[in-house]
């Protein structure tokens, strides 16, 4: 059976791009693949979150994932830091990657450019991500388009390791959707929507109040022309709305464009489609939020299931690279 793995950072509430670009595909994948999904709290440490807030956000992210439809009886849902092998293999990956290739990562350039006191973890983050993936003999990694470069690095590291130390890791394939792979910020449609960057007005949170969603989408930045046309390069704002409408109501962005002559009705219909699309997830979230004990139990079970797969792979890697066996 095909093995699938992916992760999401705990910091920031889940935004629509996370769901459309990644999580909804995880929900579908769990029924056709042996699937592992994790809340990557170690990755979140790169931005130095408040300790009490990090723990709260980690539990909330797991609650959000369950509300989105991940079923702990079908897939393995866990918290990255609760499976020690992730941090252990990450060091071996840091000793496999080169300084030059990490320096070329566009996310590192974006996050470090002009910043004072950038943490080393921002630089080495892709090595931890490679470890996350390689620990599970992962065949396929469903992610949004922004993770393409990191995935390519994980593949390069696996190939390099295998050729130097012998066949140890499965070389993973990325799986990036055709619609919703890069949901753009509503206020700055040239940047991707993000949980932790941009303004609250620019992002739609999956579990936020419908009135707020309606307000944000109807105030989305478009352009000074009036023609509704799907053209991401020339009309990023309008094209983003068409993508959101297509992803939530069906159809293709270009096909939907032909139905509209003005921006107002396009915005109204997009807002209503998004609200209806999210309603069942929001209902489930309210029920789960009232039962944090259940979520914690799911995570404890998930960590045990994950470690049972990850630990033997770590051991295989340690043996291959020449660490003395116990
Ligand atoms: P952060 O700003 O903290 O990095 P994020 O919104 O980028 O938050 P991640 O936890 O880094 O969220 O990513 C989780 C998943 O969501 C990844 O697979 C990523 O590719 C996907 N994703 C993130 N933003 C978008 C987006 N705007 N459109 C589509 N997919 C996205
Ligand atoms: Mg991100």
What is the spatial distance between Cα 154 and Cα 146, in angstroms, rounded to a whole number? 14
- Ligand 1 pocket mutation pick from 10, 11, 17 by most atoms within 8 angstroms of CB: 17
**Residue 80 near ligand 1, beta carbon < 6 Å:** no
What is the spatial distance between Cα 309 and Cα 54, in angstroms, rounded to a whole number? 26
- Let me know how many helices (H) and strands (E) the chain has, helices first: 14, 5
CATH number of 3-180+291-321: 3.40.50.620
**Residue 203 near ligand 1, beta carbon < 6 Å:** no
Question: Which are the contacts of 222, defined by CB distance < 8 A and separation ≥ 6?
Answer: 235, 237, 238, 241, 263
Average pLDDT over residues 144-170: 97
Shortest-distance atom of ligand 1 to CA 15:
6
pLDDT digits (tens, 9 = 90+) for 45-87: 999 999 999 999 999 999 999 999 999 999 999 999 999 999 9
With a cut of 90, say whether residue 320 has pLDDT above it: yes
**Residue 195 near ligand 1, beta carbon < 6 Å:** yes
**Residue 193 near ligand 1, beta carbon < 6 Å:** yes
Q: Domains of the chain: which residue ranges?
A: 3-180+291-321, 200-286
With a cut of 90, say whether residue 179 has pLDDT above it: no
pLDDT digits (tens, 9 = 90+) for 110-144: 889 888 889 999 999 999 999 999 999 999 999 99
Shortest-distance atom of ligand 1 to CA 44:
3
Taking each helix axis from N to C end, the angle separating 236-249 and 263-289, rounded to the nearest 10 degrees, works out to 50
CATH number of 200-286: 1.10.240.10
- Among this protein's residues, is 111 annotated catalytic? yes
DSSP three-state, residue 77: strand
Give 225 Cα–ligand 2 centroid separation in angstroms: 32
Give 185 Cα–ligand 1 centroid separation in angstroms: 12
pLDDT digits (tens, 9 = 90+) for 257-313: 999 999 999 999 999 999 999 999 999 999 999 999 999 999 999 999 999 999 999
């Amino acid at each position: 059976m095909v093995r699938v793995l992916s992760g999401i950072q705990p910091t920031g509430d889940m935004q629509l791009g996370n769901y459309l670009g990644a999580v909804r595909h995880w929900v579908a994948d769990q029924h056709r693949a042996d699937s592992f999904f994790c809340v990557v709290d170690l990755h979140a440490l790169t931005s130095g979150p408040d300790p009490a807030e990090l723990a709260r956000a980690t539990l909330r992210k797991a609650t959000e994932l369950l509300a989105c439809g991940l079923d702990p009886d079908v897939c393995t849902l866990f918290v990255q830091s609760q499976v020690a092998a992730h941090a252990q293999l990450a060091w071996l990956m840091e000793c496999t990657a080169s300084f030059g290739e990490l320096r070329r990562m566009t996310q590192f350039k974006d996050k470090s450019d002009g910043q004072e006191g950038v943490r080393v973890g921002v630089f080495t983050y892709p090595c931890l991500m490679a470890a996350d993936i390689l620990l599970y003999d992962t065949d396929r990694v469903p992610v949004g388009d922004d993770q393409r470069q990191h995935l390519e690095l994980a593949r390069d590291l696996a190939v390099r390791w295998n050729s130097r130390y012998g066949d140890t890791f499965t070389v993973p394939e990325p799986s990036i959707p055709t619609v919703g792979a890069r949901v753009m910020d509503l206020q700055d449609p040239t940047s991707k929507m993000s949980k932790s960057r941009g303004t609250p007005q620019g992002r739609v949170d999956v579990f936020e109040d419908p009135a707020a969603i309606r307000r944000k989408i109807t105030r989305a930045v478009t352009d000074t022309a009036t023609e509704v046309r799907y053209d991401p390069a020339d009309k990023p704002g309008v094209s983003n709305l068409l993508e959101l409408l297509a992803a939530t109501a069906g159809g293709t962005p270009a096909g939907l464009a032909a139905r509209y002559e003005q921006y107002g009705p396009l915005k109204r219909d997009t807002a209503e489609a998004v609200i209806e699309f999210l309603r069942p997830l929001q209902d489930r979230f309210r029920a789960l939020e009232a039962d944090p004990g259940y979520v914690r139990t799911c995570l404890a079970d998930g960590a045990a299931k994950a470690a049972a797969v990850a630990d033997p792979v770590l051991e295989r890697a340690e043996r291959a690279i020449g660490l003395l066996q116990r």
